[in-house]
Every structure is written in C-alpha cells, then in structure tokens.
Amino acid sequence: MLNAIKRWISGEPPGPDWGEVSSWAQKQGFGFKRAKEEEGFVLEGTFGDRPWRLEWGAPQRAYITTHELRLRMELQLPSGLQMLIMTRSLLEMLERETFERYTESNQTLIDVSTPEEMRWLAMFPKVNLDLPKDVRVHYGSVAADPMAALQWVDAELGQQLENASLNLLRDQPPFVLMTLRGRVYMRLQLSIPEPERLQQALALFKTAAAGAMRAGGSISESQNQEWPTTASTAWQTDLMPEDPKVRG
C-alpha cells in the first residue's frame, strides 16, 4: 500500500496490469488475483479434484536474484517422502555454499533455519536419474529414499524435464522441484511471466504431482516411519485466498 501511495503522490505510472496473464488465466479457467502492492499475482486452479496455487513475485530464496515463480499442491503424501530435483548449476552452487558455510564456521550441526534444499544436499544420497545422458546433465537429485525418486521420475516426467531443458530451463535458471510434508513444490527464477512460460511450468508441475502420488502410493507405512524428516519451511508465505495481502 505504501508503494502505491508513493506512486500516486509522485505521479509515477501504476504497476503492470497483468492483462495478458489474467486473460490467459480466465481462458484456462484459473482464478487470478493481484498480489499486494501490485508486485505480482496469484493463480489458482485444480488438477482433477486437487487444488494447486501459483505465485509470481518477489523471491523467497537468496539464490533467486530476480522474480520467482512458486507452485504448490497438497497431495497427502507420506510425510517422509522427501525427494528433490534441481538444475545442475544450482545444485553445484548450493553444495559449494553449504560446504563453505559449515567448514569455515566449524559448525557440526546443520542449522534448521537453512532451507531444505540446502540441508538435503548434505543429508540425503544423490540419485542417478534414469534419464538420457544429454538430459541428465541438466539436473541433479537427492532423496531420503533413492528408489522412491526413481519411481517418481518415470518416462512421462523425464520427458517433461527434457522439454524444460530445451525451453523453460534452457539457460539453467535456479529451479527446484521437491516433495515435502505431503505436498509437491516447485520454484523457479522467472523474470517475465509470459503465459507460454506459465503453461510450460504448469505442465511440468502437473506431471511431477502425478508422479509423486504414484511414488507415494508404493511406499509402505513401515518404510515411511523409518525415513528422516526435516522441519523448516519450503514456502514462506502460505497466503490463503482470503488473506488480506492478496486482493482481487
């Protein structure tokens, strides 16, 4: 609100109207809301009977330097189903940062305030994804149970990852796809939220959600109880539709 008042007093033009995005969203049957202070927007829709939420705006992670696209969906997965895929360039950068953080400070325990995607790189084994070599070089993966991750990344999700490496993720922007606390999450550095890119992101996310449900369904409760869990937050602003920070 303060930024909007300052723009009004100074005569600055209003923020973007997101007309192209809102028009595309309406045609797709998605809900569209402008975020607080016109800094971004929220889309909501469903895959079948399961709702998903997309936010585009200011980043919530330090490794994203421009704007961030975030997607999440509640799947009621086993609580210990913890799997992670990210662009190779981001994985290597976070591994270096994590190593430097804990070796230079002589820390022996991982700080729970550190984002999961950093802690998991130190906690969980790497997964050699069953992808063509020219696709696999674009991504890295870790998981509490590598076999579950291999079930997650089937031929369909593998194809979506290959498509993304040629389009949405061609320049290796920071990208994270993960399952945590029963949900599937995706975050991506995206400077310009063009409808075509939003559509590509949703296609990848939808396939990842379906794969996560399949992988979760194959895990027995006894296996689930043995897995380690983490307790930070992957989504800092769990805004609900009625949240006053989001307006229509």
Domain membership flag for residue 12: no
pLDDT tens by residue, 171-192 = 999 999 999 999 999 999 999 9
pLDDT for the residue numbered 236: 55
User: Mean pLDDT over all residues of the chain?
Assistant: 83
Is there a contact between 117 and 86 (Cβ–Cβ < 8 Å)? Answer: yes
Output the CA–CA distances (angstroms, integers) from residue 163 to 101, 193, 233, in the order listed.
Answer: 34, 18, 29
* CA–CA gap between residue 98 and residue 92 (Å, rounded): 10
Least reliable range by pLDDT among 144-153, 194-203, 213-222, 236-245: 236-245
Phi, psi of 35, deg, nearest 5: -80, 170
Mean pLDDT highest for which of 110-124, 185-199, 217-231? 185-199
* CA–CA gap between residue 8 and residue 14 (Å, rounded): 8
Domain membership flag for residue 245: no
Residue 149's domain comprises 44-234
pLDDT for the residue numbered 35: 83
Asked whether residue 148 carries a pLDDT value surpassing 70, the answer given is: yes
Could you tell me the two tokens for 3? 């930024």
155 Cβ contact partners less than 8 Å away, ≥ 6 residues apart? none
Phi, psi of 55, deg, nearest 5: -125, 140
pLDDT tens by residue, 20-78 = 999 999 999 999 999 876 679 999 999 999 999 999 999 999 999 999 999 999 999 99
- Count of domains for the chain: 1
